[in-house]
Amino acid sequence: MTATARKCRECGIDHIEPGMEIDGQPLCWHDNDLCSRCADYLHEQLVKDAARYRHLRDRQTRAIDIACGGIFAGQIPENRILGGEDLDRAIDREMGVDVPTVEPLERRLATCLAACIDTPLLTGRDEVGGFSSPLEIRLGFFRPEISEQAATLLEEAGL
């Protein structure tokens, strides 16, 4: 397409002269096939779409949040509510993007937290060479409030 034979792919305008305005805004060619007015409109729409997606992506997906209602992204037939990295990956897969199978950060952190709480810091017996059951000292022995908070968070994460 030559510089003189342009046509906007959105609005169809095919002739722009220097100094032309629409609604007080100067009109020019943004790209070879897109006028500046349509480029501005498309950009505004992209910004709005991004804000909508960010809202949906960043929604909390805890049972209490879902019970309060609202708009959530879901996966059928798995009947799962998705958010954050899970939502990103599901959309990418649906769009055909090659997505590496990596657990979301939230799940990896929850697994690490569970290991920190459940793994004994020290294992021993109450008597040397004794046959009694092993004594396992965990983080909760020293800081029970941290252990209880971790258990609550793990339950909230579904682990």
pLDDT in tens, the chain (159 residues): 444 678 999 999 988 888 898 888 899 998 889 999 999 999 999 999 999 999 999 988 888 888 888 888 988 888 888 888 888 888 988 888 876 777 777 778 888 888 887 888 878 766 666 666 777 888 777 788 888 888 887 777 666
Provide the whole-model pTM: 0.54
**Measured between alpha carbons, how far is 156 from 74 in angstroms, rounded to an integer?**
18
**DSSP code of residue 149:** H
**DSSP code of residue 33:** T
Concatenating the DSSP letter of every residue in 42-110 gives HHHHHHHHHHHHHHHHTS--SHHHHHH----EEETTTTEEE-HHHHHHHHHHHTT--------HHHHHH
CA–CA distances in Å: residue 48 to residues 29, 84, 90: 23, 18, 21
